[in-house]
Amino acid sequence: MRFCAALVLGCSIGAFAVSSAFAQESAREPVYFVTYTHNLEEPHDLDVEIESTTGFPKANNPAYIAPWLALEYGMTDWWTAELYVEGVTTRHEGSGFTGWRWENRFRPLKGEHRVNPVLYIEYEHLNEASRIQTEIAGSGALSFTPIADLRQNPAHELEGKLILSSIVNLWNVSENFIFEKNLSAEEGVEFGYTVGVSRPLGQITRGTTCHRCRENFVAGVEAYGGLGSTKTSGLHDTQHYIAPVLGWHVNHRSTLKVSPGFGVTSASDRYLLRLGWVHEF
């Protein structure tokens, strides 16, 4: 657990240190799965995202695949809204619909700054079978009760995030601080974090139509996990992951991305594999 605490502190200090310089040239948009940046959708543009999380748990618990569909719409130049629907299927424990989420992100400052803040609020109408793990908060491992039983337990939640994001030359550095309240249970307020660092593999060359050039590939790494709650102390029994991420901007509207995640605590799954496709209309 000392390793996890040092990881969170080190990533955050490094992120703020790097963000002390202004961006000098544009970079490809990051391709994180869990970490949010200050990039919002252009007004009246629609993104369709099809993504999945495949989990490989420990202790011979069954593997699972949790797909989700997200529709992201630019309401204004400072407000982006997104609707998620999600499900799950497991090898032996059943499958089913696990709920929906309504997300809103607000950018209070115009233009680029050393640190660009974004405010995030989400309502989640889920059940306890949810497995997409687009955020990890609080403590405890996933429950491997049969999916049919978990779907009987509702989880109406409010989630807030403070998103801080910086662009330095070709690098993006982003930190998210998570606050989550389950309105269906007395769990207190749960906390989590995610930190992401990424950059394109080459400098953008204007006037070319090369789709497999280095500048169309973005590589990075995310670290994310839970930080307990107001009813627990310390990092005991919390999940933490380190996840490299690679994205390919196939063209100016479509992106493919992949991220293998490695659990670093006993409460974490052994591995997570995330796959995604994003298309802008």
Q: What is the structure's pLDDT at 29?
A: 80
Displacement of CA 207 from its chain's centroid (Å): 32
Q: Containing domain of residue 56, as a range?
A: 2-280
pLDDT at 13 (0 to 100): 37
Name every residue whose Cβ is closer than 8 Å to that of residue 29 and which is 6 or more positions away in sequence: 37, 39, 218, 249, 255
Predicted pLDDT of residue 135: 93
Residue 25: the pLDDT is: 35
> Backbone phi, then psi, for 276, in 5-degree steps?
-155, 150
CB 261 within 8 A of CB 268: no
Structure confidence at residue 268 (pLDDT): 97
Listed in order, strand segments (DSSP E) in 75-200 are 79-90, 95-106, 116-127, 154-168, 171-182, 189-200
Give residue for tokens 């405890």: 140
Q: What are the tokens at 268?
A: 């974490």
Q: Please report the pLDDT score of residue 14 as a whole number.
A: 41
Cβ neighbours of residue 112 under 8 Å, at least 6 residues apart?
Answer: 22, 23, 167
Q: For residue 245, what are the β-bridge partners?
A: 220
The residue assigned the tokens 């529709």 is 71
Residues of the chain with pLDDT under 50: 1-27
Number of domains, the chain: 1
pTM of the full structure:
0.87
* pLDDT for 222: 98
Q: How far apart are CA 12 and CA 166, in angstroms?
A: 12
Residue 204: the pLDDT is: 67
H/E segment holding residue 3? helix 2-18
CB 1, CB 234: distance < 8 Å:
yes
d(CA 24, CA 34): 26
Predicted local distance difference test score (pLDDT) of residue 73: 98
Burial 85-102 (b: 16+ CB within 10 A, else e): ebbbebeebbbeebbebe
Q: What CATH number did the domain enclosing 17 receive?
A: 2.40.160.40
Report the amino acid identity of residue 106: F
How high is the pLDDT of residue 120? Answer: 98
